A = this chain, B = another copy of it.
């Protein structure tokens, strides 16, 4: 998240590496060698170092002095902690958005939500997984934007970038039930938006995010148990 501008190259680089991690192309726990990344992007190690440091401050990777960087392995309780915070922030975003959402944006939110749902149905039928999460992120992102608080938007972006939400795997895991639930919770939220009920929207959003966090934490729990002990 290039807050200001900074060097375009380094920020782009950080974004690209982050994307590779988020998508799972660079898996959790994998080492990130500066020389490799530099060669891979056809540049010197200098900007790579700065990009890695940027990712490090975001908490996505871990840098051990003189030892190198690895993609951080999130522990389930960290996910729960983060989502407890995120729930509060998204709740605030929802409350603020209620007073600012126009009908067009609500319609857009509806469209995004149904599109996401329909795609999930197609996915259950065996369609290509193709980086999902974008639809969900888009839905929430529209609300961030509508909240009209740049700091809030920024901090939510930061928390969402905190650990890889290797979404395709998630999607496959709890396809039917979770998707249905997600869709319905979004719909309920939209109704609260349309009704202009800020208190309800804030509460629904809080619960929605907490539930999503629980799902993600479960996923990481499952993952760590299969990888490390099984």
A39 within 8 A of B: no
Stretch of A21-29, A145-153, A168-176 that contacts chain B:
A145-153
B81 in contact with A151 (CB, 8 Å): yes
Report whether over half of chain A's contact residues are helix, strand or loop; otherwise say mixed.
Answer: helix
Q: How far is the CA of A7 from the CA of B69 in the complex (A)?
A: 11
A126 within 8 A of B: no
Residue from B7, B92, B155 within 8 A of A65 (CB atoms): B7
B6 in contact with A53 (CB, 8 Å): yes
A37 within 8 A of B: no
A135 within 8 A of B: no
**Which residues of chain B come closer than 8 Å to A53, judged between CB atoms?**
6, 10, 50, 53-54
Contact with B along A72-93 (1 / 0, CB 8 A): 0000001001101100110110
A5 within 8 A of B: yes
Interface residues of A in 1-17 (CB under 8 A from B): 1, 3-8, 10
**Which residues of chain B come closer than 8 Å to A154, judged between CB atoms?**
59
A85 in contact with B92 (CB, 8 Å): yes
Give the number of times this chain occurs in the complex, counting copies: 2
A56 within 8 A of B: yes
B6 in contact with A63 (CB, 8 Å): yes
A85 in contact with B50 (CB, 8 Å): no
Residue from B6, B63, B81, B158 within 8 A of A150 (CB atoms): B81
Residue of B whose beta carbon sits closest to that of A8: B65
Report the minimum CB–CB distance from A50 to chain B (whole Å). 5
A100 within 8 A of B: no
A63 in contact with B155 (CB, 8 Å): no
Residue of B whose beta carbon sits closest to that of A92: B88
A57 within 8 A of B: yes
A3 in contact with B152 (CB, 8 Å): no
**Which residues of chain B come closer than 8 Å to A84, judged between CB atoms?**
92, 149, 151-152
A127 within 8 A of B: no
Q: How far is the CA of A177 from the CA of B142 in the complex (A)?
A: 42
A218 within 8 A of B: no
